[in-house]
C-alpha cells in the first residue's frame, strides 16, 4: 500500500523530523520520512521543496549551507524557537483532529 500525503501534514512531519534529528538537508528529511513510513509513503522527493520554503518563510526554520560527512555541500535546515512552538501547536491540532476522526470511525463500526 502506498500513502498519499494528507494535505497540510507535510509541514508537521518536516518540523517533527528536524526537532528529532537536528539540522538536516532536504534529502535527509525526505529519506527520513520514507524510512519512518517503511517506504509506504509515496513521495517524490521534489515535492518537499514548496513545504521547505513555506516553513522557512514563516520563520520556523533557518537554512544554511554546510558539508555532509562525505564532503558534499548541502543546504541544512535547522528548526528555530518559533518552529518548536509551531510544532507544539501543530502537533496538538493534529492530535485533536485525528482524535475526532478516530472517534467518528469507531462509532461507524
| Residue 18 exposed, middle or buried by CB count within 10 Å (0-12, 13-18, 19+) | buried
Side-chain-facing half-sphere of 99: CA atoms under 13 Å: 6
- Residue 67 CB, shortest distance to other proteins, in Å, is 10
**Which is nearer to other proteins, 42 or 98 (by Cβ)?**
42
Could you give the C-alpha distances from 33 to 19, 43, 44, 57, 106, in angstroms and in order? 13, 9, 11, 22, 28
**Which is nearer to other proteins, 19 or 74 (by Cβ)?**
74
- Residue 19 CB, shortest distance to other proteins, in Å, is 19
**Which is nearer to other proteins, 70 or 109 (by Cβ)?**
70
- Residue 104 CB, shortest distance to other proteins, in Å, is 30
Residues in contact with other proteins by CB under 8 A are 25-28, 31, 44-47, 49-50, 53-54, 57-59, 68, 70, 72-75
Query: CA-to-CA distance for 48 and 34, rounded, in angstroms?
Result: 12
- Residue 98 CB, shortest distance to other proteins, in Å, is 24
**Which is nearer to other proteins, 9 or 31 (by Cβ)?**
31
Side-chain-facing half-sphere of 106: CA atoms under 13 Å: 6
Amino acid at each position: 500500500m502506498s500513502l498519499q500525503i494528507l494535505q497540510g501534514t507535510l509541514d508537521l512531519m518536516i518540523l517533527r523530523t528536524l526537532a528529532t534529528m537536528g539540522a538536516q538537508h532536504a534529502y535527509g528529511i525526505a529519506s527520513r520520512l520514507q524510512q519512518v513510513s517503511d517506504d509506504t509513503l509515496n513521495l517524490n522527493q521534489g515535492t518537499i521543496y514548496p513545504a521547505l520554503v513555506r516553513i522557512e518563510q514563516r520563520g520556523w526554520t533557518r537554512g544554511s549551507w554546510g558539508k555532509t560527512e562525505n564532503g558534499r555541500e548541502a543546504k541544512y535546515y535547522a528548526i528555530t524557537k518559533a518552529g518548536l512552538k509551531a510544532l507544539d501547536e501543530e502537533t496538538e491540532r493534529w492530535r485533536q483532529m485525528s482524535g475526532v476522526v478516530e472517534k467518528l470511525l469507531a462509532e461507524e463500526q
